Amino acid sequence: MNKQLCQSCGMPMLEENMFGKNADGSKNEDYCCYCYPNGAFSKDETMEEMIETCIPFMIEGGTCKDKESARAMLMSILPNLKRWKNK
């Protein structure tokens, strides 16, 4: 299976219901349902703020064991994503 990452938070979008929605209700291929629920980003935040938002989810989900490793992983992924790449 081809794993697609949200181009804002880096979350793997493994199921159809994980994709965001465009303003017309159609599926958004780039962003997840949390970052892009209705045709716009749910929060106007910097990449650094997004990293801090995502850290608890990375720990809870078992991807990382602590804040430092989660922050390091996110700092290696997020700058390469569409939302943050040219900022």
State pLDDT tens for residues 16-33.
999 999 999 999 999 999
Arithmetic mean of pLDDT, 73-85: 96
State pLDDT tens for residues 36-54.
999 999 999 999 999 999 9
Average pLDDT value over all residues in the chain? 94
Arithmetic mean of pLDDT, 56-84: 96
Burial 7-33 (b: 16+ CB within 10 A, else e): bbbbbebeeeeebbebeeeeebebbbb
What's the number of domains the chain is made of? 1
Return the structure tokens found at 1.
């299976």
What range does the domain containing 55 cover? 4-85
Arithmetic mean of pLDDT, 80-87: 91
